[in-house]
Amino acid sequence: MNYVIKKRCIQKITTFYRNVSKKYKHTYSEELMHQNADEAIDFMPIPFLSLKDVTALHGAEINEAVSRVVNSGWYLQGQENQRFERNYAAFIGTEHCIGCANGLDALIWIFRAYIELGVMAPGDEVIVPANTYIATLLAITENGLVPVPVEPKADTLEIDEDAIEARITPRTRAIAIVHLYGRNAYTPKIGELCRKYGLKLVEDNAQAHGCRAEDGRRTGSIGDAAGHSFYPGKNLGALGDGGAVTTNDPEVAAAVRALANYGSQKKYVFKFTGRNSRLDEIQAAVLDVKLKYLEEDNAHRQAVAAYYYEHISNPLVTLPARLPDAQNVYHLFPVLVGGGKRDALHDYLDAHGIGTVIHYPIPPHHQECYAREAWNTPQLNLPITERIAAEELSLPIGPSITLEEAAEVVNAINGFHA
């Protein structure tokens, strides 16, 4: 069935479904939604992201890859991991890639490796963007390190390079940059600060597979080590959890590989107290198929984003400053909605059958889990982060959304009046 016709059929069914019971819709949504599972909102005529449609784009090859592994009888630490790690390292532009269980673990293992190698110690500080997804901070605090949240810039939503230096202390050991929403966050000034103060540069590349910095290097190859998430909704998404660390540092690579495998470098010999945090063979095989199409998929995201940039004209809606396409792979398309109207626009789009998601409604420093942390002082002054949390709304974007659908999103947004 042609894609657009299929969409229209789904639209009819979902409209009926929505009319039958709005209450049921909420129950359905709440039960299905993992706190990070944006794509569960798949019953809309224009869903925020339909993972079913994304998988269907390369469905035959993915099914073939899964069957190959199922029939091979080899499910962990085999050829599929080796092939994917080799191909992903080549794609990112690093010597090493180590598959692991998820993106949070990838980041945890990087900081833990630096502790095991004597580069960092519990109590040391790590600069981090205040508006990131909480996983970046969890990886820091999990290792007994201290996050130092720094404001993003209001127009780029990425860490403000000019706000970093004032937060560097004798305990600072690293700057963790996050290529949030799929945008390159690296600037030469950040590199200079790392050299000046002898800091490690850790990249959180969970949201930016395929993105390049201004100098042409891929994000994930710029810093000393990078964590990647292959959570299903990511640009390179598995059919379950998955993650990887990329680095050019052989010591970090060896430590991460051991940590993610019980701390073992040799069977039944344990150098570290690690965990079982491996990427399984089925996910590696699926990721290797999807990697071949990643640039094509990203180009499609860029076309949808270009359409939004050129056609959204509602004065209540501010689009982030536009970067050249190479520097933005549009994992998400965030807009800021002024005048206290963000939630109203969300509800309005919802009523028009358009799925949107807030990234993120509560910044990490306001989360209960960090309420009693010494670093989380009332003096933390993060007005831009607070504003983003109050105004951000992410529009549908992904490899399976059509430009016709993007046009419907634009029409609905431009038709929204406060």
Q: Which residues bind ligand PLP (CB under 6 A)?
A: 36, 102-104, 132-133, 135-136, 178, 204, 206-207, 229, 231, 241, 243
Give the separation between CA 189 and CA 210, rounded to whole angstroms.
Answer: 22
CB 74, CB 281: distance < 8 Å: yes
Residue with the shortest CB distance to ligand PLP: 103
From 254, 277, 259, 228, select the one nearest 91 (Cα to Cα). 228
Nearer to ligand PLP, 42 or 105 (CB): 105
Give the separation between CA 183 and CA 115, rounded to whole angstroms.
Answer: 29
Q: Minimal distance in Å, beta carbon 107 to ligand PLP?
A: 6
Give the separation between CA 286 and CA 291, rounded to whole angstroms.
Answer: 9
Nearer to ligand PLP, 207 or 314 (CB): 207
User: Residue 156 contacts by C-beta under 8 Å, 6 or more apart in sequence?
Assistant: 183, 320, 321, 323
Written as six digits, the tokens of 337 are 């909605």
Nearer to ligand PLP, 14 or 131 (CB): 131
Q: Minimal distance in Å, beta carbon 132 to ligand PLP?
A: 6
Nearer to ligand PLP, 203 or 405 (CB): 203
Q: Minimal distance in Å, beta carbon 253 to ligand PLP?
A: 19
Written as six digits, the tokens of 348 are 């309005």
Written as six digits, the tokens of 302 are 């860029």
Give the separation between CA 55 and CA 238, rounded to whole angstroms.
Answer: 9
Which three-class secondary structure state does DSSP give residue 362? coil
CB 167, CB 377: distance < 8 Å: no
Peptide bond into 360 cis (omega under 30): yes
Nearer to ligand PLP, 98 or 317 (CB): 98
Nearer to ligand PLP, 38 or 405 (CB): 38
Residue that has been written with the tokens 């491996």 in this structure: 278
Q: Minimal distance in Å, beta carbon 207 to ligand PLP?
A: 5
Q: Minimal distance in Å, beta carbon 238 to ligand PLP?
A: 9
Nearer to ligand PLP, 219 or 400 (CB): 219
Which three-class secondary structure state does DSSP give residue 148? strand
φ, ψ dihedrals at 148, nearest 5°: -120, 95
From 353, 357, 330, 358, select the one nearest 405 (Cα to Cα). 353
Give the separation between CA 223 and CA 209, rounded to whole angstroms.
Answer: 15
Q: Minimal distance in Å, beta carbon 103 to ligand PLP?
A: 2
Nearer to ligand PLP, 132 or 261 (CB): 132
Q: Minimal distance in Å, beta carbon 11 to ligand PLP?
A: 29
Nearer to ligand PLP, 233 or 355 (CB): 233
Q: Minimal distance in Å, beta carbon 382 to ligand PLP?
A: 17
CB 334, CB 358: distance < 8 Å: no
Q: Minimal distance in Å, beta carbon 359 to ligand PLP?
A: 8
